[in-house]
Structure 1
Amino acid sequence: MEYVLPEEAASAGRARRLTSEFLGRPRHRMNRVGAGHIDDAALIVSELVTNATRHGRSACRLRLQRSDEQVTVEVYDDNPGQPRMRSVTTDSEGGRGLALVRCLAQRFDVAPVRGGGKRVRAVLAI
């Protein structure tokens, strides 16, 4: 499933909702995705879409795929720059998103896309 999300703060909430609906739908001949895994995937999506709309300087595309073993989240934006992990303190109000994604995801990678921009992918084992 693929969605195009505008460059605005509300896109993260919409992406969470779309992810929860997509993963919560029963699929013929596929195991159900548990509530905890849906929550983890929605958090990953929220963080990646927030980064894309905040730092990508463009709308973004969210692509979701699932199998019985994993959920793959891909977020595309027009900024070719690599996301950076920031140093955070206990007083920091942000900067923990990529660290959360890396903790929750079985695999995490960033790759340039033809024509400019990048794809950020996180794979969650279910």
Structure 2
Amino acid sequence: MVIPLMKQAEDEHGTDEHAPLRFGAAWAAVAARAGDARQALHTFLTHAPHAGRTAVPASLAMDAGLVISELVTNAIVHAPGPCGMALQLSGEELAITVWDTSTEKPVVRKRDRHRVGGHGLRLVHAVSDRVAVAHRARGKQITAYLRLTPSSDASAGPFGRDTAGAVSRPAASPA
């Protein structure tokens, strides 16, 4: 069941202002659409300042839209059954988690400018600070973390994200 953001805001009124803002949604096997996930993300990020959180910069919101589109599309195309997403916004980062029923570990494919498709996970790694893959009882979840503040790291990319080797590093698995 999806709880509208405004209802969540009413329920959380008066909570710790430093607590992360969260939203989640789940879809049946044939009901998932990347457009719905992007719309939910947009609503979530638009609502953040009204919930006492810092506004997310437009460039980061665009990157987050790309991440959610790619991860949900991969879940739709490569995994049978239901899927879902969870969004978490803290003072430091936005975490985008997508879960599905496939047990296959996602693989970043080699760059091939002649191939149609198969570039999504490479893009997710390129715009995220880090990407983690965790196994679930039935399937897996992929979480992309996008830092809200620019990095002071010398290897950081144009928006403060680490792009040095981002697409060639494997997705991390929890210990």
Q: TM-score, normalised by structure 1?
A: 0.91
Aligned with residue 104 of structure 1, among 127, 130, 133? 127
Cα RMSD between the aligned structures? 1.6
Residues 23-69 of structure 1 show CA distances to partners (whole Å, capped at 9, x for unaligned) of 12123332111111111111100000000111011221100000121
Aligned with residue 79 of structure 2, among 30, 42, 56? 56
Assess if the C-alpha contact under 8 Å between 2:125 and 2:131 holds in 1: yes
Aligned with residue 89 of structure 1, among 96, 108, 112? 112
The corresponding residue for 2:168 is none
Aligned with residue 22 of structure 1, among 37, 44, 51? 44
Shift of 1:125: 0.6
Assess if the C-alpha contact under 8 Å between 2:32 and 2:76 holds in 1: no
- Residue 51 of structure 1 aligns to which amino acid in structure 2? N
Shift of 1:8: 4.7
Moved over 6 A (4+): none
The corresponding residue for 1:79 is 102
Point out the structure with the larger helix share.
1
Q: TM-score, normalised by structure 2?
A: 0.67
Point out the structure with the larger strand share.
1
2:138 equivalent to 1:116: yes
Identity %: 35
Structure 1 unaligned spans of 5+? none
- Residue 83 of structure 1 aligns to which amino acid in structure 2? P
- Residue 121 of structure 1 aligns to which amino acid in structure 2? T
- Residue 123 of structure 1 aligns to which amino acid in structure 2? Y
- Name which one, 1 or 2, has greater alpha-carbon Rg: 2
Structure 2 unaligned spans of 5+? 1-22, 149-175
